[in-house]
Amino acid sequence: MNIIEVIKKQINHNNILLYMKGSPDAPSCGFSAQAVRALSDCGVRFAYVDVLANQDIRTELPKYAQWPTFPQLWVQGKLIGGCDIILEMWNNGELKKLLRGTGKLE
């Protein structure tokens, strides 16, 4: 399986997926930490991929997604965006509305 197939499989098998630097418990950049806080505040469980531990994904995902930066939030197979978009949606309540129907609430 090539790396694009791996990425597609990850996206298709996880309703809420965050490609980030580090892990939710130990983010390796401030942008990833902010994204995790926003998602956690919404009360949903989400999958994540540490792009620092997966160099091929870190290299190929921006090309596939046509989105150059991390973190990247994917919901039901669709790219939502990066940190700025996640925070904007969180601040205006759209993120919680979007995620309520997709993930298991804690």
How far is it, in rounded angstroms, from Cα 51 to Cα 19? 6
What integer is the mean pLDDT of 24-39? 97
Q: Is 83 annotated as a binding residue?
A: yes
How far is it, in rounded angstroms, from Cα 52 to Cα 19? 10
Q: Is 21 annotated as a binding residue?
A: yes
Q: Is 70 annotated as a binding residue?
A: yes
Q: Is 29 annotated as a binding residue?
A: yes
- In a domain? residue 70: yes
Higher pLDDT, residue 61 or 101: 61
- In a domain? residue 106: no
pLDDT at 102: 62
pLDDT at 105: 42
- Mean of per-residue pLDDT scores for the chain: 94
Q: What is the pTM of this model?
A: 0.93
- In a domain? residue 9: yes
Q: What SS3 state is found at 100?
A: helix
Q: How many domains does the chain have?
A: 1
How far is it, in rounded angstroms, from Cα 73 to Cα 93? 16
- In a domain? residue 24: yes
Q: Is 84 annotated as a binding residue?
A: yes
- In a domain? residue 105: no
CATH at residue 43: 3.40.30.10
Domain extent at residue 41 = 3-100
- In a domain? residue 48: yes
Binning pLDDT at 50, 70 and 90, where does residue 101 land?
confident
pLDDT at 1: 81
Backbone angles phi, psi at 28, to 5 degrees: -100, 5
Q: Is 96 annotated as a binding residue?
A: no
